[in-house]
């Protein structure tokens, strides 16, 4: 099991951690009814934070920031000689946690996406993990919540009996949610990227060999060019440029961001 310290990748603090370490961390927080904010960092999530000081503060305040993308894992290995042999991918971590939650009787809550995708997720998850207790599912609002809505949602999640909550709102909304709800939820909250539509079967996942060579972004771009082209065409070259400067010692990046950022969920 690997769970090392946080390391600076272009100004964003990323945990040196593998699946075993991440599962252990989340389950311990769930059993202890302890708040924990967890996010999965692919390149676009890193760059969203690196180029926005308010979002940098959010991301660098996370309890756990997973090296979700292969280029993020490679950066940790190149910059710090981290011993990571695989990334810690949000959708895979979600399934691993669902499997363990089913075995341990830990109820889970899902927030985000659409009612249709949530329904498909429920069917597929219960088929794979018959003992899984789904305490609740609620579609995302995808807009700024009022303080009353925010308090009401937090109360519904707490009262559901859930031991952990998975959030699927897309980047960066889901990371903002996890950051802002951390003090309201006595449980781990995980921003897990595209896990929801993948589990539902609505979005095709890249073959493992494409994931392993760090080209999942290209596969997803081919699947959804109109939605994703800006993310990859702009952020990928910027990440390579900034990381190269850091690798060569030509630039160091501050990890401090705006404090505190404006609240976006009430």
| Residue-level pLDDT, tens digit, the chain, 266 residues | 999 899 999 999 999 999 999 999 999 999 999 999 999 999 999 999 999 999 999 999 999 999 999 999 999 999 999 999 999 999 999 999 999 999 999 999 999 999 999 999 999 999 999 999 999 999 998 788 888 999 999 999 999 999 999 999 988 999 999 999 999 999 999 999 789 999 999 876 767 777 777 777 666 666 677 776 676 777 889 999 999 999 999 999 999 877 777 777 75
Query: In this structure, is residue 264 part of a structural domain?
Result: no
Query: In this structure, is residue 224 part of a structural domain?
Result: no
Query: In this structure, is residue 229 part of a structural domain?
Result: no
Q: Are 113 and 170 in contact (CB under 8 A)?
A: no
Amino acid 219: pLDDT: 66
* Domain enclosing residue 174, as ranges: 3-193
Query: In this structure, is residue 207 part of a structural domain?
Result: no
Amino acid 114: pLDDT: 93
pLDDT digits (tens, 9 = 90+) for 226-255: 776 676 777 889 999 999 999 999 999 999
Query: In this structure, is residue 123 part of a structural domain?
Result: yes
Amino acid 206: pLDDT: 65
Identify the CATH number of the domain in which residue 59 sits.
Answer: 3.40.50
Please give the tally of structural domains in the chain: 1
DSSP bridge partners of 151? none
Q: Are 111 and 140 in contact (CB under 8 A)?
A: yes
DSSP bridge partners of 108? 134, 164
C-alpha to C-alpha distance for 155 and 244, rounded to whole angstroms? 45
Average pLDDT over the chain, rounded to whole?
91
Amino acid 226: pLDDT: 72
Q: What is the pTM of this model?
A: 0.91
For the chain, first and last CA: distance in Å?
38
Burial 25-60 (b: 16+ CB within 10 A, else e): bbbebbeeeebbbbbbbbbbbbbbbbebeebbbbbb
Query: In this structure, is residue 258 part of a structural domain?
Result: no
Amino acid 26: pLDDT: 98
Query: In this structure, is residue 55 part of a structural domain?
Result: yes
Dihedral angle computed from the Cα positions of residues 74, 78, 84 and 88, in that order, rounded to the nearest 10 degrees: -30
Query: In this structure, is residue 174 part of a structural domain?
Result: yes
Amino acid 193: pLDDT: 76
């Amino acid at each position: 099991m690997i769970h090392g310290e946080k390391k600076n990748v272009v100004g964003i603090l990323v945990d040196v951690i593998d699946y075993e370490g991440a599962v252990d961390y989340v389950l311990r927080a769930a059993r202890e009814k302890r708040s924990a904010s967890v996010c999965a960092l692919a390149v676009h999530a890193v760059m969203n934070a690196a180029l926005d000081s308010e979002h940098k503060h959010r991301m660098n305040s996370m309890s756990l920031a997973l090296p979700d993308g292969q280029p993020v894992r490679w950066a940790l290995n190149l910059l710090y000689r981290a011993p990571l042999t695989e990334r810690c991918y949000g959708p895979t971590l979600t399934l691993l946690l669902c499997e363990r939650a089913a075995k341990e009787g830990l109820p889970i809550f899902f927030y985000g996406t659409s009612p249709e995708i949530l329904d498909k997720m429920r069917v597929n998850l219960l088929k794979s993990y018959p003992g899984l207790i789904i305490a609740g599912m609620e579609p995302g609002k995808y807009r700024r919540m009022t303080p009353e809505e925010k308090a009401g949602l937090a109360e519904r999640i707490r009262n559901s009996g859930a031991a952990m909550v998975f959030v699927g709102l897309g980047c960066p909304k889901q990371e903002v949610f996890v950051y802002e709800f951390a003090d309201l939820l006595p449980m781990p909250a995980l921003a897990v990227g595209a896990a929801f539509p993948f589990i539902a079967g609505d979005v095709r996942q890249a073959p493992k060999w494409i994931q392993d060579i760090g080209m999942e972004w290209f596969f997803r771009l081919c699947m959804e060019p109109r939605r994703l082209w800006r993310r990859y065409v702009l952020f990928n070259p910027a990440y390579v440029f900034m990381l190269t400067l850091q690798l060569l010692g030509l630039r160091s990046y501050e990890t401090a961001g705006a404090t505190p950022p404006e609240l976006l969920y009430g």
